[in-house]
Amino acid sequence: MKLKTESLKTINFLIRTESHRWLASSMVFSLLLVMIRIMYTGSLTFIFLAWNLFLAFVPYAISTFLQNNPGWTMHKWKFSFAIAVWILFIPNAFYIITDLFHLGISQVPIWFELALLLSFAWNGLVLGILSVRQMEKIIQWKWPGMHEFFFLFPVMFLNAFGIYIGRYLRFNSWDVISNPLDLAGDISNMLLHPFASKYAWSMIGCYALLMMFIYITIKKISKTIL
């Protein structure tokens, strides 16, 4: 009952502020674009974007829950569990930007398809940035002496790693439980044979730096203009 009450408090917080209402409106807009595309083409090809957006929302909901329930943050095992789940799901928020690879595969006008894919990529990116920022604040509160890069770089590297294994190895967050042996085998192969996996590590390094630049730039700009 207590967990249910805390969850309801989190949901209320998510829709209470103006920024959250705009974010919710932006996500609804994305879903409307998918519905329009389905009606126009009669195909469910891009319905997976709605699921990807939900997965991108999960880590944001977790970090918001922790931010509004400091009791979980102060409890060692609860916080460890929440962090572990958050780490598993946070790559999903940034993963959506790679859905831009699907541009040009359908019968709709290219401008509509671009708007559709960009809207989902944008919402996923915003959810990811907000969630990382929330978690960064929590970590700074727990360990005030830690430099931001000791948190940001590992997180962005894991995000990029998650994007690669999701996009190219076709694993997802659930495979940690449902298919751990195959997942561990592929990851071990990458770690044990880095030169044979140079394409993978190049992509991971590039995306880790890209997401670092995006996050830090938005963070610094927000401090300057707000």
Domain boundaries, the chain: 1-144, 147-226
End-to-end CA distance of the chain: 39
Whether the predicted pLDDT of 2 surpasses 70: no
Give the residue with greater pLDDT, 145 vs 217. Answer: 217
**In this predicted model, what pLDDT tens digit does every residue of 120-178 receive, in sequence order?**
999 999 999 999 999 999 999 888 888 888 999 999 999 999 999 999 998 888 888 88
**Model confidence, pTM:** 0.87
Query: Taking a C-beta distance cutoff of 8 angstroms, is the pair 208, 160 a contact?
Result: yes
At residue 6, the pLDDT reads 56
Measured N-to-C along each axis, helices 198-225 and 148-167 cross at an angle, to the nearest 10 degrees, of 130
Q: How confident is the model at residue 9 (pLDDT cuts 50, 70, 90)?
A: low
* Mean pLDDT on 86-96: 95
At residue 213, the pLDDT reads 95
Mapped onto helix, strand or coil, the DSSP state of residue 43 is coil
At residue 8, the pLDDT reads 53
At residue 75, the pLDDT reads 85
**In this predicted model, what pLDDT tens digit does every residue of 48-68 receive, in sequence order?**
999 999 999 999 999 999 998
Give the residue with greater pLDDT, 154 vs 20. Answer: 154
Q: How confident is the model at residue 74 (pLDDT cuts 50, 70, 90)?
A: confident
Q: Write the DSSP string, 71-85.
A: HHHHSHHHHHHHHHH
CA distance 25 to 19: 10
Query: Taking a C-beta distance cutoff of 8 angstroms, is the pair 89, 173 a contact?
Result: yes
At residue 131, the pLDDT reads 96
